Amino acid sequence: MSNASVNVYLDKQEYGKDRVRLLKVHRDSKVHRVDDLTIRCLLSGSSFTTSYTEASNKAVVATDTIKNTCYVLAKSSKAVDTLEVFSAEIANHFLNTYAWVEGAHVTIIRHRWARMVIDGKPHTHSFWRDGDETRQTDILIKRGANGRRTIDLKSAIAGLLVLKTTGSSFEDFVRDEYTTLTEAKDRILSTCVDSTWEFNIPSVQTDSLLQTMSQIPFNQIYDSVRDVTCKTFAEDESASVQATLYKMAA
């Protein structure tokens, strides 16, 4: 057997709290609104290395603290319904509070609730789960040079289940001895759509990060992406799922 030493090192790390369940009820009028969120918050930085290599917890922010921080910030935040801004508030908090945290990675999933219609009228405070579709965002904020923050931000629609009973065909595809599918000039089409888009946000000074984020119309962007997705699916004379998908993205 060889007596050569083994070179062991920590390449990179992230740790934190996953599946933080949060429900915020907005009672600012007689017509209540709800935000039902699942949050993941991960912290990174070279100071955490010793928690792995030397079993030292001196730099570790407890995952219970991370969870409770999400709750406290949700209570005070005015942007919980704008996932991109709320996730930036959470990430920015950890960078501002703990000087050794170099990166904060926050993912938020918003679960869909629709207002009940009772006797023909939208109910003021009762809702029903409108399918498994979710709105999602994923943000990574890191310390940059000269007191700046770098931002990597993606948002998404996930699990949008759609169906149409006509306006779809599938013809002229490869046929060989294993093909049993017949060509169809008119068929039912149903699929589940996941869509992700990225934002190009330049690095910003620490004290202007949230102001910069609040100026971007994230909710309108999300609504427009969803509207385009549904409109394209409904109106396209689809030659294939691939062709319709490309038109949605374009």
Which amino acid does the sequence have at 239? Answer: A
| Residues contributing to the annotated binding site | 63-64, 170, 187, 241-242
3-state DSSP of 55-124: CCCCCCCCHHHHHHHHHHHHHHCCCCCCHHHHHHHHHHHHHHHCCCCCEEEEEEEEEEEEEEEECCEEEE
Other residues' Cβ atoms within 10 Å of the Cβ of residue 205: 13
Question: What residue numbers does the annotated binding site for O2 cover?
Answer: 63
Query: Phi/psi at 79 (nearest 5 deg)?
Result: -125, 20
Q: Provide the residue count of the chain.
A: 250
Q: Cα(36)–Cα(81) distance, rounded to whole angstroms?
A: 9
Neighbours of 84 (CB within 10 A): 24
What phi and psi values does residue 46 have, to the nearest 5 degrees? Answer: -65, -25
Residue 44, strand partner residues: 103
The annotation places the binding site for urate at 63-64, 170, 187, 241-242
Distances (CA, A) of 127 to 20, 117, 121, 133, 229: 22, 9, 13, 15, 25
Provide the annotated binding site for 5-hydroxyisourate.
63-64, 170, 187, 241-242
Structure tokens at 206: 């620490």
